Amino acid sequence: MPPAPLHIVLIGPPGAGKSTVGQSLSALIDITVISTGVILRDEIQTGSALGQEIARRIDAGDFVTDDMIGRVLLAQCTQIASQHGILLDGYPRNLAQAAALPQMLARFGRRIDAVILLELPDEQVFERLGGRRMCVTPDETYPVHMSDATAMARCVAQHGVLTVRPDDAPDIIAHRLRVYHNTTAPLIAHYEEQGILCRVDARAEAGAIARTILSMLNQTVTPV
């Protein structure tokens, strides 16, 4: 019998590597990543009125409304076949979203199995995000750190254009971190009380973090 689909939530400060770890996990097990940041940035690219409103909020380091993000998430969940697990990268980000999530998943016969907290000290957040650039190629857009010569060379080889995310400006990083501590960090106690929180050191390499997470969850790697 195939393993039951797994439902994982990734939380952590900005720059903890949620998206990269999510990609690494999805290469190891049958799990579909829903990255709210990526979906919102895709909407911005369309130039729609909604996209412009989203851009104003994200560029200022603020959250989009719970209603907006709730609708985005619902639309995504509807598209995922029931045999696939779901990894939530970037949702929930506050207690109201955490309260809404179980009912939303229950509509699809799903429930959260584990919440992974990627822990990263504040000074590392500044170091990572301050040096982060987005490599934009015709095929993909991915983050690279200026100190990572191999990643920078790969971007150049792909004729990629390096850009800075507006929300990676130093004052916006500081604001996002404050928002994280005030609004998202309360989720840690919330999920700890439910007994489903696992803490992981986010300073390791993404592939190693993904394997650590799977062993914490007693999951074996499945061909995907």
- By the criterion CB under 6 A, which residues form the site for ligand AMP? 14, 36-37, 40, 57-58, 62-64, 69, 90-91, 93, 97, 167, 176
Reduce the DSSP state of residue 119 to 3 states and report it: strand
Q: How far apart are CA 5 and CA 32, in angstroms?
A: 10
For the bound state, the minimum distance from the C-beta of residue 63 to ligand AMP, rounded and expressed in Å, comes to 3
Comparison of 165 and 222: residue with beta carbon closer to ligand AMP: 165
CB of 93 to ligand AMP, least distance (A): 4
Nearest alpha carbon to residue 90 among 190, 14, 32: 14
Minimum CB distance to ligand AMP smaller for 58 or for 214: 58
Q: Which pair of tokens denotes residue 80?
A: 């995922």
Q: Which is nearer to ligand AMP, 37 or 131 (CB)?
A: 37
Instruction: Characterize 170-189 residue by residue with b for buried, 16 or more Cβ atoms within 10 angstroms of its Cβ, and e for exposed.
Output: eebbebbbebbeeebeebbe
- Nearest approach in angstroms of CB 222 to ligand AMP is 26
Q: Which is nearer to ligand AMP, 17 or 219 (CB)?
A: 17
Nearest to 86 by CA among 67, 70, 108, 71: 108
Among candidate residues 34, 88, 92, the one with its CA nearest the CA of residue 63: 92
Name the residue nearer to ligand AMP (CB basis): 54 or 219. Answer: 54
Question: How far is residue 55's CA from residue 65's CA, in Å, rounded to a whole number?
Answer: 12
CB of 111 to ligand AMP, least distance (A): 19
Task: Write down the least CB distance from residue 40 to ligand AMP, Å.
Answer: 5
Residue nearest to ligand AMP (CB): 37
